[in-house]
Amino acid sequence: MTCTVLVGGFFGDEGKGKIASYLAIKDDMDANVRTGSVNAGHTVVWGDITYKLRMIPSGFVNPKTKLYLAAGCNVNPSIFLEEVKLTKVEGRIWIDRQASVIEPIHIERDRSEGGRIGTTGQGVGPAQEDRVKRIAKLVSEIDYLKPYLDDVALRVNEILDRGGKVLLEGTQGTYLSLIHGTYPYVTSRDTTASAICSEVGIGPKRVDDVIVVFKSYVTRVGKGPLKGELSEEEVRRRGWMEIATVTGRIRRAAPFDFELARRAAILNSATQIAITKLDSLYPEAAYARKFEDLPTEARMFIEHVENEVKVPVTLIGIGPKVEDIIDRRREIL
């Protein structure tokens, strides 16, 4: 039995899709469960195609991995069905019957009210609001979704009981948590590891590893504090300019924040760290295949993270593709 939780360490956009897809293949995951909703996009570069997914779990790249959407999800049915077709996962993806639905009225409300905090306008906050009021529509009430419905909590626990491997894929980042984030500039749910487990229906004693994903620099979309924020001109000069997957907005950027990283490790009970886009800080890192091959400055940065956060850095992203990973787990765990 192995249950791994993947959680963002900053404000989202850390590269969780890349790490989730890598783990699904490398560890041959039996199941990949996605939490959250369509206000978070996960990018997976697989083969010659770049997938920008808002519903389908990133582990779809392994054809043997069963895919699930958790009971805590807010499902936009049209986006879900579009992505099922795009990723060709018909027959191996299921939605928990308790998941709720984003309706057109939720999107309208979000776009008229969400400007105050800079939401994505995808209807997630209003859909969550209706769920708290106990008036939200569930996926079990949508006839054309019924072929995809199952008891995801039961299925995932059964897989663990059989000794299987399960990956829980969180969305957004620790500091967008409604509870632990930079309130009020946060999302409408808790985004930490414990909440990911709760959305799925996995008890805390079943978790073996919590991998917190950090990018080699910090980005944020929308309003809210960002310590050390750089000017757009400086962001472009450093090659850190990014466009948000869901909204198309330019991501604000700042250097790696060790203070936030330490706190994220505490809030999530991190057992491992994944660092992505190391090649954006140190371009020569893109040519490395082992930790020892990294430029001296890049190795020093990784060691500095480990010393400050007190958690081993086991996975290092050195390029955009799923396989562009230095995997140190056998060496240091």
User: Pairing between strand 66-69 and 49-53?
Assistant: unpaired
Distance CA 109, CA 98 (A): 23
Task: Read off the tokens for 31.
Answer: 């199941």
First to last CA, the chain: 17
Distance CA 139, CA 320 (A): 34
Distance CA 219, CA 324 (A): 21
Type of residue found at 143: D
Distance CA 172, CA 180 (A): 13
Catalytic residue among 28, 30, 42, 48: 42
Residue 42 bears catalytic tag = yes
Cis peptide before 184 (omega within 30 of 0): yes
Beginning with the edge strand found earlier in the chain, give each strand of the sheet holding 2-8 in spatial order.
Answer: 149-150, 93-96, 66-69, 31-34, 165-169, 2-8, 209-215, 272-276, 313-317, 325-327
Distance CA 187, CA 40 (A): 10
DSSP state of 244: -
Task: Read off the tokens for 248.
Answer: 């198309």
Distance CA 99, CA 76 (A): 10
Distance CA 297, CA 329 (A): 21
Task: Read off the tokens for 54.
Answer: 């808002």
Q: Are 280 and 242 in contact (CB under 8 A)?
A: no
The residues carrying an active-site annotation are: 13, 42
